[in-house]
Amino acid sequence: MATILGVESTCDETAASVVIDGYDVRSNAVASQAELHAKYRGVVPEIACRAHVENIIPVLRESLATAEISLNSIDALSVAHRPGLIGSLLIGVTAAKTLAWSLGKPLIGVDHVHAHLYSVVLETNQAPPMPAVGLVCSGGHTALYEVNDWLDVRLIGSTIDDAVGEAYDKVAAILGLGYPGGPILDRLAEQGDPKAIRFPRSLLDRDSLDFSFSGLKTAVLYHVRGVPRRGESVKQEPNPTIDPQGLADIAASFQAACIDVLIRKIRRAAGKIGARSIIIGGGVSANRGLRAALTDFEVPVFFPPLRYCTDNAAMSAGLAHICFDRKQFSSLSLDAITYSQFLE
C-alpha cells in the first residue's frame, strides 16, 4: 500500500492530490484558471504558465492539509509530464522533482492522457475487463486507444483537426454562450430537439478510427450566420433572431452529432480489437448526453466519477501506483514533453 502525492499542470489547471493504493483519494486540490482565459475563449499558454507558478505551492499545501498527511509520510511523487503546454508542464515537473529530491522519495512521471483513462478507477476501485477500448475526449484530445493493461496503452485513432471539447468551446463561442462551452451546451441541449437540425457526421474512411470535428463546427457557424458567398467572409455577429428554443435546438442537434460520431467510432474500435469493455475519460466524459447514450452498450462502459473527468492530479497519482508496485520509477532528469509518447 503506497501513498502518492500527485502533481498536475499540463494545461490550465494546477492540481495536487494524495491517493492511497491507487484509488483511495484523500485529497483532490484543483486551482482552475478558467476565469483568466475566459475572455480569450481559450487557453493562453503564457498566462497559464504564470498562474501555475503562483498556484503550485498553495495547491500542494491544500492537498496535504486536506489529506491530513505530512510530506514525510508520502511514499512517492507523481507528475503528469506529457503531453501538454511546455511552460505549464515545466512548473509541475520542477515542483515534483524538487520534492522528490529533497525528501529522498521516488519520482514517477506519467502520461496525462493515460491518466485520464485510469480516472475510472478512482474511488470506485473498479477493474474494467481488458482488452478495452479507451476514449479520451477533452478540450485538447479526442483519441481512441487499445488498453491491454494500464501501462500498455496503444493509440489506434485520433482527431485530424479539432478535439471534441474544442468543438464544444468554439460552438459555444459562436453562439455567444461563454467558456468552457461543454457544460453550458450540455445543459442547454436537454431543452432542445436533437433532430431539429441535421448537422454533418464526419466518419472519414470506412475503417478509419480517426475523428474530424472542424466541419461540424463550421456547419454550426454557417447555420447561425449564413453561408458566406464566394469571396465574402462569414458575418461576425451572432444571428440576433435566434430565440431561446432555437438556441437549445442548435445545442441539442450539435450534441447529437458529436455523440453519434463518438459512439460509432467506439463501436468500430471495439469490433477491431475484440474489446471486453469501454473506458471513457477526459472533460467531455462528463457529458450527460454521452453517458445516457451509452447506458445499454454491448459491453460494459466505465466513466470516471464526475469530479475526475476534467484535469486533476488524482488520476496521475492513481496511475503512478501501478508504476510504484512494478518499481518503474523515473530519474530526476525526467523531461516535460509536449506530445504523447505515441508520436515520438
Residues binding ligand KG4: number (CB under 6 A): 20
Burial of 243: CB neighbours in 10 Å, binned 0-12, 13-18, 19+:
exposed
Smallest distance, Zn ion to C-beta of residue 311, A:
4
Cis peptide before 300 (omega within 30 of 0): no
Cα–Cα distance, 13 to 8 (Å, whole number): 7
Element (H, E) at 25: strand 24-32
First to last CA, the chain: 33
154 membership: H or E segment, kind and range:
strand 152-158
Cell 484523500: give the residue: 26
Dihedral in degrees, nearest 10, Cα atoms 315, 320, 326, 328: 140
Q: What is the C-alpha radius of gyration for the chain, rounded to an integer number of angstroms?
A: 20
Look at residue 192 and give the partner it binds from Zn ion, ligand KG4, none, a contact being a CB closer than 5 to 8 Å depending on partner kind.
none
Contact flag: residue 303 with ligand KG4 (CB under 6 A): no
**Which string of x and - marks every residue 137-156 that binds Zn ion (by CB under 5 A)?**
-x------------------
3 state SS of 69: coil
Report the relative pairing of strands 24-32 and 277-281 from DSSP bridges: unpaired
> Measuring CA to CA, which residue among 260, 297, 289, 266 is closest to residue 182?
289
Part of the chain binding ligand KG4 (CB under 6 A), chosen from 52-60, 126-134, 277-285, 326-334: 277-285
Residue whose CB is less far from ligand KG4, 78 or 142: 142
* x/- map, 253-292, Zn ion, by CB under 5 A: ----------------------------------------
Q: Which of 41, 50 has the CB closer to ligand KG4?
A: 41
DSSP 8-state assignment for residue 161: S
Give the residue with the Cβ less far from ligand KG4, 184 or 270.
Answer: 184
Instruction: Tell me if 311 contacts ligand KG4 by CB under 6 A.
Output: yes
**Spatial CB neighbours of 205, under 8 Å, sequence gap ≥ 6:** none
220/286 with CB nearer Zn ion = 286
Least distance (Å) from Zn ion to the CB of residue 163? Answer: 10
Q: Is 330 in the site for Zn ion (CB under 5 A)?
A: no
What would the x/- binding string for ligand KG4 be over residues 220 to 259, using CB under 6 A? ----------------------------------------
Reported as type and span, the H/E element at residue 251 is: helix 244-273
Residue choice 259, 284, 301, 313 for contact with ligand KG4 (CB under 6 A): 284
Comparing CA positions, the residue from 209, 188, 183 lying closest to residue 261 is: 209
Does residue number 182 form part of the binding site for ligand KG4 (CB under 6 A)? yes
- Give residue 280's identity as a one-letter amino acid code: I
Q: How far is the CB of 21 from ligand KG4 (least distance, A)?
A: 24
Site for ligand KG4, residues 129 to 148, rule: CB under 6 A:
138-140
Rule CB under 5 A: choose which of 60, 311, 318, 340 binds Zn ion: 311
Residue 180 contacts which entry, ligand KG4, Zn ion, none (Cβ below 5-8 A, type-dependent)? ligand KG4
Question: Whose CA is closest to 121, among 25, 23, 8, 27?
Answer: 23
C-beta of residue 145 within 8 angstroms of C-beta of residue 155: yes
- Beta carbon nearer to ligand KG4, 97 or 116: 116
Contact call for residue 181 and ligand KG4 (CB under 6 A): yes
Interface pick for ligand KG4 out of 14, 17, 78, 310 (rule CB under 6 A): 310
| Residues near ligand KG4 (CB under 6 A) | 11, 138-140, 165-166, 168-169, 180-183, 186, 282-284, 286-287, 310-311
| Residues near Zn ion (CB under 5 A) | 138, 311
